[in-house]
Structure 1
Amino acid sequence: MWKSFAPLLALVSCAAGLNILLTNDDSWASANIRATYNALKADGHDVLLVGPAVQQSGRGGTFVLPTTNITEPGGEFGSIPVGAPYFGQDSENGDLFYFNGTPAATAVFGIDIIAPKKFGSTPIDLVVSGPNEGQNNGPFLFTLSGTIGATYVSVERGYPAIAFSAGNSTHRSFTTLTDDASDPANIAAKVVADVVRAVANGVNATKQRLLPLGVGLSVNIPTFGPGSNCTAPPLRFTRMTGGAVVDQISINSTSGFPISTNLEASGVNANVNGVREDPGETPTSAGCETAVSIFSVDYDAPERLARPIQQRLSLAIEASEF
């Protein structure tokens, strides 16, 4: 068994490059994750890619481990043969691994099992998840997206982590990836590299964490590049709330069956936390801007809201103790 280590501080090493665990939910064979691997390596980082064996979108933070080896129809885009072990390594690049679990489980497998072999006694500096094939905007997607699920489970484990989601949503194999800078996967990868560089800026010298304990980032890249009116989307600080939508149900007058439509509901957009003047990420990334939201895995309500409720309930709680 490979030796594991605890992420006590997750400090950045003195070297310019970071130790990065790269994962996603679209599979280890997607064009986006391979382009991002290339971009981060080109920036001088030591990158370990551990992605799901197959497409795992919409799994949120569900934690499902494999109980069998690879079954029909095999790995995504034919990347893994039927009957292969539940995890494995690319035959030509020892930094590329697959794991046949959900995104959250894949991230933790990378943290506990593969990263110690790759990085030895030095810690993971940063977990990068994505870029997803499609945006993940709003608190509703925070719990639904496998891309973000892999991110917040990493944050829960004590690691700085960033989720990236891209408006260019075509599900593509890495075998279709080109060297063209205008390739959407390469454009998204450049955004990832730029954000990682900005997050790491000035941290090496001071030995600080890249992000505070319990905090992560969710970055939503707009649809841009060839065929769109957006070519160079700037970064903008946003909140997950503000313009976010959830489902509402109505009955189809023709079929008689229930259908769902989007609702910009007040509850999901309540401005409880975050920087109040920042716009919502949903309308921001719908234009030509990349939305950068800072989230916390602490689900507790702020004290200013919690204290009055505790006071209202205190008599009932005290009575229940007798």
Structure 2
Amino acid sequence: MRFGLLHTLTTALSLVSPSHAARILMGNDDGFGSGNLREFYRLLKEAGHDVIIVAPVINQSAQGGRSDFTTAANLTAPGQYNIVPAGAPSVGPDPNDSHIWYYNGTPAACTFVALDYVLPRYFPDWNQSPDLFVSGPNFGVNLGPIVFTLTGTLGATYAAVSRSIPGIAFSASNDAIAYTNVTNSSNPATWAASVSVNIVEAFLNGTSEGQSVLPLGYGVNVNIPPLTSDAMPEVVRSRLTGEADTDIAVFNETTKLFKYGNVVPKAAGVNACINGDCNLPGETWVVQGGSISVSIFTIDYDAPDVAYTNSVFAKIDGLTGGGDEGNSSTTYKKRVVGKNGVIPEKLLSGRDNIAR
């Protein structure tokens, strides 16, 4: 695959020239009938890309990175917007488009089903290696570090990045709409999709021949403010932290139920700048100002090698042997194995203690 000349996200994206065709895998958490998702798909295909969707058969918002696979071979209820009926297989193509697939599982599970079932069985020429994974655009923005573990939009993307696939999560500010209700090009779903395509093209055009779209283990979180046309808002480099909100549990005395709210004033913990460029504005602040935020994350959750991290490890010096050499990569040799050097199955089990 060959990409065009270098462009940056700070240029006028509406003027970006078309990139060479890429193989793009798509997902989301709003369901495979999402108007945003289908418009994004349509416009990416019109731009000349080879595109496949594998997304939840029903809305699976707020699932985070949960990889939950169905235990039923067939749907027990109709799929989203009755696109597929009850009794249909739990995984399958849209009746009207063989490049759009659904699965009865969480967004992250859909990513894995795409990579390990749909692509190898039905699109073998992809070699299970899309050039890019994109998620969304979500109905509603996903701002700040708190959503990194809460939203399925990012969960699906993180799953792709964990499998060495460059991933970009897109979230927009428009309300939910079924794809069948998108009847013209002058609507928020199409505008959000158009903006998202421009950003994808910028990343592809900024990638040299033979390079990956993103470095290994890197992903991108894009948030789009409310749009009133297809005009491209300003695009701002941002960070996840900074003016970000985090949740509180709000109890309703009448219903005896909880719902979430935001901490006021904003919590210091969620906005602590530990990694990255602390001079960048937070994505929450950027989107509230009417611009598109582009934040970069990595798969590596480890704290940086700084004094704070060392002070935390120092608290267990009595257990680890202390000093900079305690348990270092050059001294730690132990590995728990069973007979014949096989790792015990219990160490390979998932959250529910079920071997994966």
Shorter-chain TM-score tier = 0.7 to 0.9
Counterpart amino acid of 1:51?
A: A
Partner of 1:84: 88
In the TM superposition, what is the alpha-carbon distance from 1:258 to its structure 2 partner? 6.8
Partner of 1:94: 98
Paired with 2:288 and 2:138, the residues of 1 have a C-alpha distance of 16
CA contact (8 A) 1:48 1:118 kept: no
Tell me which of 275, 292, 298 is aligned to 1:273: 275
Q: Is it true that 1:318 corresponds to 2:306 in the alignment?
A: no
Q: Is it true that 1:282 corresponds to 2:284 in the alignment?
A: yes
Partner of 2:45: 41
Partner of 1:184: 188
Partner of 2:143: 137
Identical aligned residues as a percent: 40
Per-residue displacement from partner, 1:220-271 (whole Å, max 9, x unpaired)? 1011216xxx954211111110011112357778999877531110010000
Say if 1:286 and 1:114 are closer, same or farther in 2 by CA, change over 3 A: same
Question: Which segments of 5 or more consecutive residues in structure 1 lack a partner in the other structure?
Answer: 1-12
Counterpart amino acid of 2:269?
A: G
Per-residue displacement from partner, 1:171-202 (whole Å, max 9, x unpaired)? 2111011232x311111111111111111114
Tell me which of 155, 161, 179 is aligned to 1:174: 179
Alignment of structure 1 residues 102-251 onto 2, 5 Å: 102-116=106-120, 117-118=122-123, 120-122=125-127, 123-168=129-174, 170-180=175-185, 182-205=186-209, 207-225=210-228, 232-249=232-249
Alignment of structure 1 residues 24-63 onto 2, 5 Å: 24-63=28-67
Paired with 1:71 and 1:34, the residues of 2 have a C-alpha distance of 24
Paired with 1:261 and 1:100, the residues of 2 have a C-alpha distance of 30
Q: Is it true that 1:301 corresponds to 2:303 in the alignment?
A: yes
In the TM superposition, what is the alpha-carbon distance from 1:119 to its structure 2 partner? 5.0
- Structure 2 SS opposite 1:233: coil
Say if 1:184 and 1:252 are closer, same or farther in 2 by CA, change over 3 A: closer
CA contact (8 A) 1:162 1:216 kept: yes
Paired with 2:87 and 2:255, the residues of 1 have a C-alpha distance of 44
Paired with 1:20 and 1:60, the residues of 2 have a C-alpha distance of 22
Say if 1:111 and 1:257 are closer, same or farther in 2 by CA, change over 3 A: closer
Say if 1:250 and 1:66 are closer, same or farther in 2 by CA, change over 3 A: closer
Counterpart amino acid of 2:310?
A: R
Question: Which segments of 5 or more consecutive residues in structure 2 lack a partner in the other structure?
Answer: 4-19, 328-356
- TM-score, normalised with respect to structure 2: 0.79
In the TM superposition, what is the alpha-carbon distance from 1:77 to its structure 2 partner? 1.2
Paired with 2:255 and 2:152, the residues of 1 have a C-alpha distance of 32
CA contact (8 A) 1:19 1:119 kept: no
Paired with 1:94 and 1:200, the residues of 2 have a C-alpha distance of 25
Say if 1:318 and 1:143 are closer, same or farther in 2 by CA, change over 3 A: same
Paired with 2:53 and 2:258, the residues of 1 have a C-alpha distance of 41
Say if 1:154 and 1:256 are closer, same or farther in 2 by CA, change over 3 A: closer
CA contact (8 A) 2:83 2:94 kept: no
Paired with 1:255 and 1:175, the residues of 2 have a C-alpha distance of 35
Paired with 1:281 and 1:154, the residues of 2 have a C-alpha distance of 22
- Structure 1 SS opposite 2:296: strand
Counterpart amino acid of 1:302?
A: P
In the TM superposition, what is the alpha-carbon distance from 1:112 to its structure 2 partner? 1.3
- TM-score, normalised with respect to structure 1: 0.87
Counterpart amino acid of 1:45?
A: H
Counterpart amino acid of 1:199?
A: F
CA contact (8 A) 2:40 2:190 kept: yes
CA contact (8 A) 1:115 1:124 kept: no
- Structure 2 SS opposite 1:94: strand
Paired with 1:256 and 1:203, the residues of 2 have a C-alpha distance of 53
- Structure 2 SS opposite 1:120: helix
- Structure 2 SS opposite 1:95: strand
Partner of 1:292: 294
- Structure 2 SS opposite 1:268: helix
Q: Is it true that 1:14 corresponds to 2:18 in the alignment?
A: no
Say if 1:28 and 1:231 are closer, same or farther in 2 by CA, change over 3 A: same
More displaced 10-residue stretch of structure 1: 13-22 or 79-88: 13-22
- Structure 2 SS opposite 1:275: coil
Paired with 1:316 and 1:18, the residues of 2 have a C-alpha distance of 51
CA contact (8 A) 1:131 1:166 kept: yes
Partner of 1:10: none
Q: Number of residues paired by the alignment?
A: 302
- Pairwise CA RMSD: 2.3
Per-residue displacement from partner, 1:92-112 (whole Å, max 9, x unpaired)? 221111111100000111111
